[in-house]
Chains A and B, each alone.
Chain A
Amino acid sequence: MDNNTSHTAAASNGTTHSGLREYTVTVYTEDRIGITNRITIIFTRRHINITSLTTAQTEIPGVYKFIITVLAEREKLDKVIGQIEKLIEIHRAFVHDESEVVYQELALYKISTASLHNGNIEQLIRDNNARILTITSEYFVIEKTGHQQELIDMLQKLVPYGVIEYSKSGRVAIVKWSRRFHDHLKDLQRKEADNLKLVH
């Protein structure tokens, strides 16, 4: 993952100077060692750069959702989706453009406690809908959620106060039309339960 590009690559219309666009890919998987490897290998093979990757269990036990942001051409990406869906432990994979997802990222900023007295950092935190998570005698940690650009803007604003450390998560996204797929998964679950009843 080459993160150098991710801060600047996606211009406001979502297209980069190289004609690539930012897309959110969601992949529903079984819980299985090595699945991340299996998925990312497919991007690597087609020379598509992953700019962020988030994964966690969904509301359905044993089913995981990967949220991957990439800079790519749509056509190429659609073929990647086909290869991903071919993997045995993958339920489904989707590509979404900006308009199809509601998404957020989360950033943590570690700032020196001494700088609390430097100008009005409290005001800055309030104005930017951020919050303080913890304060020690040496440093305090600010949390902010938002789109990538907002998080980077906040970072710029904090620089004068002395940022000791900065961490940002990958994207967490909800797909606007994803219901159908979740219904499908629930169906599967019901069927499986019925199957089990038949067996026992």
Chain B
Amino acid sequence: MQQKDVLPMKTEVSEKRVVTTPATVQTMTGSEAVIRSLIAEGVDTIFGYPGGAIMPIYDALYDFQQEVHHILVRHEQGATHAAQGYARSSGEVGVVFATSGPGATNLVTGLADAYMDSTPMVCITGQVNAVLLGTDAFQETDVIGITMPITKWNIQVTRSEDIPGAIAKAFYIARNGRPGPVLVDITKNAQVGKLDFNYKKCEYIRSYHPVPELSEEAIKDAAALINQAQRPYILCGHGVLISGAEKELIALAEKANIPIASTLLGLSAVPVDHPLYVGYLGMHGNYGPNINTNECDVLIAVGMRFDDRITGEVSSYASQAKVIHIEIDAAEINKIIKADVPVHADAKTALQALLPHIAPTQHKEWLQTFKEADKQEYDKVKHRELYPEEGMLKMAEVVRIISEKTGGHAILVTDVGQHQMIASRYYQFKDPNTNITSGGMGTMGFALPAAMGAKMGAPEKEVVAVIGDGCFQMTLQELGTIYQSEIGVKIVILNNNFLGMVRQWQQLFFDKRYSSTEMINPDFVQIAKGFYVPGRKVTDRAEIAAAVEEMLTHKGAYLLEVVVEQEDNVFPMVPAGAPISHIRLE
């Protein structure tokens, strides 16, 4: 765990705090057991929002302010995204508290987002007294029913003595196998009732086997395919980062000179300047990586799940290639793309087993095709995006400057839309786990709270959130949290006065009928000022470099609004549902 000493507590610490988890059985309330269970799981940061049904837990928290840092968000959705950002930057489980009813329903978007993007999170919600369950009591909502399809697991606890066991199981499930969000709903009577506390970590659930047994045969088959391949191609997904398999992946690529492309969530696993890294896949990915998916002869998909933004039309996707699919979630294998060699395993374990079987090879001509495609993309798109000399500022050049000034070492948190695609395309990622974005759900409003969490999870890192003007207005109240908890995130709003990505589609596919996508925006810098966060607005190309510099050198949070070209489009682009080979450069 990182040190959190950059974040001073503003509240007085109470006298009667008890420091350690007791080794022996001790009688206490369910609420105290909740906090002690969390501490036993190594939790030191919680994002949450109080309310009637969770008040006993908040009361217990008051005694543990030295051990557990509670961040009071401004909306429960913000708590979930913050916990996601925290989990993704620290590798720990993100923890959320919310009250029953509206508190719990406000978690839904974040839970669904974390579920899609395999982010470990434990949400604890208060619930009405067990005797009132099912009576439509005040603030009673069936959170278990509501969150069933968007959590990896959930449980309602109605008795104090079941609390430690439920929390232990929650952490085990959230962390292991394919990680995901878990929800523990605790009724008020369970929070106030007494129990004999004795915490045991969960290490085994008889019906759940998160670590698959590696098939030696599958590894040999995969190696044979790779060794025979003329045009092998690695697709790197989020699973590589989750299992910490970056080194193994690069070793495999280097041994046999295989090009690596990345999915949106796989970004940052391989440094962008690595000679075998060829770029980013999908609807707004790079030209060569998309085109060549339909040219390779062996496709090695590692920890990715063939999302439709990657595959386009499935029937023509890599139909010429033999597919090796390394994936920890058995349900993902053969779900979208049939694997010739399915490897049901953790990415790191599989790659470690695979490496010794791989023969050193060259694939010069094959690698050259990526270079040629990249040159085309550079001439047609990248150059004029990155280095425009006239007209309004472009999103890409802003991202280029941020990338240059941070050396590609910052954690880049992006929201959803054009700015997300542009930032993902042009930020020069150097270090693993520095790309945090909402991939599977595409949740607008993700970035500001996620950046907040990311900074708390990795306080030593620079965290830059790149946010659209539309997205910012979905969760901007978290500026309040940023101020109160002194979280030093840098916020860049790329303001095009449009819901840009939707407007782009309207332009290209709906005859420029800009239905409800133009935005009359407030004065963002003034808003930030209202939350005591300093900022600056830039419209001029001549000012942008200095403004980014100023933002980065400023100690503490800072908001930079950049007014960019209104009707800019993100290219290349694969029209939705089209084969990826139909990728358009303009």
Q: What is A's interface to B at a CB cutoff of 8 Å?
A: 29-30, 33-34, 37-38, 41, 45, 79, 82-83, 85-86, 88-91, 188, 192, 195
Contacts and interface: CB of A to CB of B under 8 A. Distances in A.
A88 B205 contact: yes
B148 A83 contact: no
Contact of B206 (A30, A34, A45, A83): A30
B203 to A, nearest CB: 10
A192 B330 contact: no
A38 B207 CA distance: 15
Nearest to B330: A82
A192 B206 contact: yes
Given A37-B145, A37-B148, A86 B330 contact: yes
B453 to A, nearest CB: 25
B149 to A, nearest CB: 6
Nearest to A192: B206
B152 interface: yes
Contacts of A83: 331
B331 A82 contact: yes
Contacts of B205: 88
Interface of B: 144-145, 148-149, 152-153, 156, 173, 204-208, 329-331, 333-335
A88 B153 contact: yes
Interface of A is mostly: helix
A72 B98 CA distance: 40
B149 A88 contact: no
A41 B207 contact: no
Contact of B335 (A33, A38, A79): A79
Given A82-B330, A86-B330, A88-B173, A41 B206 contact: no
A79 B329 CA distance: 12
B207 A29 contact: yes
A188 B330 contact: no
Contact of B149 (A33, A45, A192): A45
A86 B148 contact: no
B379 to A, nearest CB: 43
Contact of B331 (A37, A86, A188): A86
Nearest to B156: A33
B342 to A, nearest CB: 12
A26 to B, nearest CB: 15
A188 B206 contact: yes
A34 B153 contact: no
A88 B329 CA distance: 13
A24 B269 CA distance: 43
A28 to B, nearest CB: 8
Nearest to A28: B207
B315 to A, nearest CB: 14
Contacts of A85: 330-331
Contacts of B208: 88-89
A85 B212 CA distance: 13
